[in-house]
A and B are shown apart, each in its own frame.
Chain A
């Protein structure tokens, strides 16, 4: 409950933060909202020697339209994203999912950048960002680069980011005219997902389906998407939701139960994205 000794440095710009990362190398860890990192540090599962606080970098807190995408600054807090007018109108799935994260305290501290960079397969926003085919922008010593969401999540708590890079922006294609559905299955209202399913609905292309907590990394339900493309009904396609997944196997939620949930929740999310309101609690 008490982290190991550490030094704390606060950056006021991305450049300054990059400088600090370069200076401390592998010993440093970025701190955004702290709601994933600090619990690990308190349990002493993480013990960075230097913490570089980027949570107050104002230049990374924004939501704005840029052509056909909505650009979201990485340090935008879940609450701000959830209540943002532009996000709610143009990328409603992402705005909605931000409002389903944890509880109000968590949403007022946690950031979308931290949530994505953490690479936690149980996190909600990665599934939404995957379903939306967003692009992630990272800055490093050699400048900025763009990473498609589909290539960003590499495995359990690992992403395409290098240790000297900072995730700065999430670019989400505008989707005001597309239906969407998000099913988050929890025991208590504010819990982490046992399983979650994010769907960005039909036209102009087929629905895209992102899964929460169904593998080592946040993933797309590609088998469902393929079935839909091949003409299956949403209900038929949803039966494929667990194909190729390797969900965690835990006492309160076995892998088998999670596979079952994935199919039920995918059917519901697809129905919701198509404008329906599925029965269920």
Chain B
């Protein structure tokens, strides 16, 4: 019987939960013997000219091997108008930017030595506010004439709303958040006698990281081996490589010793890329019968100090997905990425799509309130129907498959939506200080949006076991389990006998890696394709072995035996075939290139209570359909949904990375940055739905980000809904108690 769709406990978990993973900082590789320890000296100011760096005193501190600055680096500087230097040279543009690197014999000596590096900063005005950044009074890069580093879409055409009976517009914020993975950033590296650099890096994409770091060091990628050991989370912020490891690789060559680096939690919060960070103006127009006719999304994306993915790519995802699950004939979507003197922004779970969903889902509620219609009903009237797929959006996306209304209805039914509305009305009538709010979100997102390929390789060993290599290097998702299940199902070999390897560029030279909810659909499909090739090879061998026609040979996937159709007695095993084939011959090495984006979707309903006396919000229920096609392993699938729901609720209620007017981070420790915990979350109510895609052999879409995308606006909408009777129309995220109390007070003052 196939194990697909069964709750298989992840094979990774025993180790991760008992002895713990081997993260970069845990490595005891002999190659790292004698390593020096590294710490970056980071800018304490947001924007300044660096006029002098005096490292003489630091160089004399106990254990110091070297203090290195931009002046020492003999690497080609990165190019472009807004080039991000390896180490800051004449200017710094955010608190946390690396300015120097200190190397010491022992780790404990680092902080003392780093403190002694004396940097003269000649302050320049900080640029924090996005409107200020747009105005360009202070330019971050001399020689440019604007802080806008990139645009997506085309400027807003107001005439799109001509003829709409009702038009509602609102400026909303999708705030900056910190990815804060459990494992902070870390790297270790050593140059071999052969002149090759080996680097261990906490990354989501060993091959992309290798190419980027080798490029920075002026190496051919083959002159570098990059290994991602266990990786303790990334959420998008460990895509590829930051500039820091380039400096480490260079430093190791410079001092002729291996180098180890692990940042502190405070460094992680301030210097690892942040996510989101959009100011949006949403405009929605339609008629009083509930039909939406036009939607406008005007985005100002906070790019931070240097253009990373948050500037270059993600706002394009936002504009692409602007219309969500709705049939809206006219769309205006435009984004300007503007540079500010803050930490650069990049991917964070959902990366551009949650921002789109938040915009359209807030807009739908604003529209519903304006025309006095229930938000569920307004959504239902505008959802794309199941018979309209593939659906071409006005922004250029082609949605593959979807059952948007069915998802919404399933959530409403499971929640007893009508009963909840009645309870809401009852409390309002009774003047209960604790009010109830219901928040809906219908969402669709794009996964495997990069449409790049992925590698898959496998070999049947002489003992009949399987070793497989995937290019999808995981960082907590459990690929080793899921991919083994795919192969076990296909080959009839028990998954205990299948080892999935990943993360070492010497074993997998070409790959893309894990981001954008792409792994199962691309990496898994690559595995399946490799499995198909091996099966065909095996069929030939089996036919020869039993002297039968190839067409008569079948694989019994219940016990992994090859047999003449209907004659199990003469069956031969994978082991026998592998032995017959000879060393490594029963193998396949494929590049799955038939990759097209898929569009998971779902509906979420959040139920919150709001204490009108204090502004406190408590999330009581979160009911979700997250449809990403057929499920390989419900346990892993639900795990992704749980994490996603939690992170979405966290953005809606708690998390925000903030700066003061001078550009100092004000939430730079975990005492200030409010991540969510189990105590703020209800039991999640997960509903099943599985609509396959036609675009890959497994029929699967991505689940890694989906639940984050739906839950964020659902929770936010619930908070606003709770207060709608007071005249509150919007509360920005995070809907912390002060902000909610303020909204209540303002509303009370208006009446």
Which positions in A face B, CB cutoff 8 Å? 1-2, 4-5, 39, 43-44, 185, 187-192, 194, 251-254, 257, 260-261, 264-265, 279-281
Contacts and interface: CB of A to CB of B under 8 A. Distances in A.
Contact of B736 (A5, A39, A187, A190): A187
Interface in B667-688: 669, 671, 674, 676-677, 679-680
Nearest to A188: B680
Closest 9 CB pairs of A and B: A189-B679, A1-B264, A281-B611, A2-B111, A264-B613, A257-B738, A281-B616, A279-B433, A280-B611
Interface residues of B, number: 34
Contact of B679 (A185, A190, A252, A264): A190
Interface string B716-751: 000000000000000000001110011000000000
Contacts of B666: 251
Contacts of A260: 741
Contact of B614 (A4, A5, A185): A185
Given A2-B108, A185-B614, A187-B674, A280 B736 contact: no
Given A187-B736, A188-B674, A2 B110 contact: yes
25 contacts: A1-B111, A1-B266, A2-B111, A2-B264, A5-B112, A39-B671, A43-B266, A44-B111, A185-B614, A185-B616, A188-B677, A188-B679, A189-B677, A190-B677, A251-B658, A254-B738, A279-B432, A280-B433, A280-B611, A280-B613, A280-B616, A281-B609, A281-B610, A281-B611, A281-B618
B408 to A, nearest CB: 29
B654 A188 contact: yes
Given A185-B616, A190-B677, A281-B434, 14 more contacts: A4-B112, A43-B669, A188-B680, A192-B671, A252-B736, A257-B738, A257-B742, A279-B432, A279-B434, A280-B434, A280-B613, A280-B614, A281-B611, A281-B618
B614 A252 contact: no
B308 interface: no
Nearest to A39: B671
B265 interface: yes
Given A1-B111, A2-B111, A187-B674, A264 B654 contact: no
A189 B680 contact: yes
B744 to A, nearest CB: 11
Contacts of B433: 279-280
A75 B111 CA distance: 32
Nearest to A268: B613
Interface in B413-440: 432-434
Contacts, number: 68
B620 to A, nearest CB: 10
Contacts of B679: 188-190
A264 B614 contact: yes
A252 B677 contact: no
Contacts of A39: 671
A1 B738 CA distance: 30
A122 to B, nearest CB: 11
A243 to B, nearest CB: 19
Nearest to A258: B738
Interface in B608-629: 609-611, 613-614, 616-618
Judged by DSSP, the binding face of B is mixed
B724 to A, nearest CB: 19
A44 to B, nearest CB: 8
A185 to B, nearest CB: 6
Contacts of B617: 281
A254 B677 CA distance: 24
Contacts of B658: 251
Contacts of A281: 434, 609-611, 614, 616-618
A44 B266 CA distance: 13
B737 A187 contact: yes
Which of A188, A189, A190, A252 counts the most chain B CB atoms within 10 A?
Answer: A252
Contacts of A188: 654, 674, 676-677, 679-680
Contact of B738 (A191, A252, A265, A280): A252
Nearest to A267: B613
A281 B264 CA distance: 36
A5 B62 CA distance: 12
Contacts of B265: 1
B426 to A, nearest CB: 14
Nearest to B613: A264
Interface string B552-570: 0000000000000000000
Contacts of B616: 185, 187, 280-281
Contacts of A279: 432-434
Contacts of B741: 257, 260
A251 B658 CA distance: 9
Contacts of A189: 677, 679-680
Contacts of A4: 112
A251 B660 CA distance: 9
Contacts of B614: 185, 261, 264-265, 280-281
Nearest to B615: A257
Nearest to B39: A2
A279 B618 CA distance: 14
Nearest to B114: A2
A239 B677 CA distance: 34
Interface string B648-661: 00000010001000
Interface string B238-269: 00000000000000000000000000111000
Interface in B95-128: 108, 110-112, 115
Contacts of B654: 187-188
Which of B108, B111, B654 counts the most chain A CB atoms within 10 A?
Answer: B111
A13 B736 CA distance: 46
Nearest to B675: A188
A152 B542 CA distance: 88
A264 B618 CA distance: 18
Nearest to A4: B112
B41 to A, nearest CB: 14
Nearest to B433: A279
A5 B110 CA distance: 12
A105 to B, nearest CB: 13
A194 B672 CA distance: 12
A31 to B, nearest CB: 19
Nearest to A281: B611
B477 to A, nearest CB: 27
B140 to A, nearest CB: 24
A187 B614 CA distance: 11
B611 to A, nearest CB: 4
Contacts of B266: 1, 43
A257 B744 CA distance: 12
A264 to B, nearest CB: 5
A1 B674 CA distance: 19
A250 B432 CA distance: 30
Contacts of A187: 616, 654, 674, 736-737
Contacts of B110: 2
A24 to B, nearest CB: 21
B738 A253 contact: yes
A264 B612 CA distance: 10
Contacts of A194: 737
Contacts of A257: 738, 741-742
A280 B115 CA distance: 48
A189 B677 CA distance: 9
Contacts of A253: 738
A191 to B, nearest CB: 8
B640 to A, nearest CB: 23
Which of A43, A44, A281 counts the most chain B CB atoms within 10 A?
Answer: A281
A271 B405 CA distance: 48
A254 B737 CA distance: 11
A169 to B, nearest CB: 30
B614 to A, nearest CB: 6
Interface in B588-623: 609-611, 613-614, 616-618
A261 to B, nearest CB: 6
Which of B108, B614, B741 counts the most chain A CB atoms within 10 A?
Answer: B614
